[in-house]
A = this chain, B = another copy of it.
Amino acid sequence: MLIVKTTDNRQLTADNFPMEIFVYRKGSDAVEENFAVKDLPEILADRNNVVWIDFLSEKPEELACAKDVLLNVFKFHYLTVEDCFETRNQPKVEVFPDYLYLIVHGVKPEETSSANFVTKELDCFLGENYVVTFHTERFRSIKNVKQQIRNNTFACRRGASYLLHQILDQIVDLYMPIVDEFDDSINNLEERVFQMQKSNNVILEEIMDLRRSVARLKRISTRQLDVLHSISHGEFPQIPENVLPFYRDVHDHLLRISDLAESYRDLVSGLFDIHFSVVANKTNDILKFLSIFSAIWLPLSFIAGVYGMNFENIPELKSKYGYYVALSAMFFIAAALIVYFWRKGWIFQKDEEKKVDN
């Protein structure tokens, strides 16, 4: 306990101690706050209390302080504490004799869009009568749960594992708007591909960003689903039977997100197919235009060329109306070609198929 005391003396006097402690005493109708680290051992010892310790460690000195408490007060395994401080972990769950350790990822709502899916890590420890959450970035979901238990102790009454469920539920709920945004983005991009006036790389870049985001969503949600699957199928003694349905509920939400991510992947790769087909269609249209243009002017120029020859004996040239006849011939040839292309379906057919279909 020596180290804790030292930390105590140096840090607990400061206003910015990066840790909030919520204690729900059995039967009470409000959660108590404003505890200090030195109170923790006593509070935790009473198995009737439900305790939530939330660390928000944004600065290095806060990190050091949090590490001290996690290692020395809670006696968490060195590796799990180290995992808290690493920033590139995937969602996972690990069981220890006294507690459960899990990493989950929440979306960063401010930064995240369908073009750039970003997550932040939350580390949770679930003991018999306590939940420890550790994060280096602010979570709206955690703020919400705090608000909720201050208003109503309902969530605390069912024990620590139910409290943890509330936090996870909030985190997963915040995925939903992002997932819907993906749907909109795909629809929107599809529409823009169909309407694009000129070939451009902007749409391609957006499709690629979307693909990258969907891949990330898929990767994270699959691992997160694994975590919730293990938890909700009763593998861990820390979570009592009667709380399992609540975890199954979170699991089902995540399953839907993961299924959607999978189908988005298909649809995004479909966007490339469509982009490609639309460009190929445009190529055809341009080539038809070029062909029609050439096909009309080349024969006319040829006729003009013929009568521009300098042979001494070209009877037509001497005819009074030769010029007008030639012009008329040219006109009729052009008209005939235009009719030919119209019959061939290369021109004047813009909206026919549309009419047939609808």
Give the B-binding residues of A (Cβ under 8 A): 77, 79, 83, 88-90, 92, 94, 96, 190, 194, 196-206, 208, 211-212, 215-216, 218-219, 223, 245-246, 248-249, 252, 255-256, 259-260, 262-263, 265-267, 269-270, 272-291, 293-295, 297-302, 304-314, 316-323, 326-327, 345-346, 349, 353-354, 357
Contacts and interface: CB of A to CB of B under 8 A. Distances in A.
Contacts of A323: 309, 311, 313-314
A245 B286 CA distance: 62
Contacts of A304: 302, 305-306, 308-309
A90 B256 CA distance: 7
Contacts of A276: 273, 276-277, 280
B278 A201 contact: yes
A283 to B, nearest CB: 5
Nearest to A270: B211
Nearest to A357: B202
A311 B326 CA distance: 10
Contact of A299 (B90, B297, B318): B297
Identical copies in the complex? 5
Nearest to A349: B198
18 contacts: A90-B255, A90-B256, A94-B248, A201-B278, A204-B277, A204-B281, A215-B266, A219-B260, A272-B273, A284-B286, A286-B287, A293-B298, A301-B305, A311-B317, A311-B319, A311-B322, A313-B320, A314-B323
Q: Secondary structure at chain A's binding surface: helix, strand, loop or mixed?
A: helix
Given A83-B249, A205-B194, A314-B310, A281 B279 contact: yes
A92 B245 CA distance: 13
A274 to B, nearest CB: 6
A152 to B, nearest CB: 15
Contacts of A300: 302, 305
Contact of A317 (B265, B280, B301, B310): B310
Contacts of A327: 306
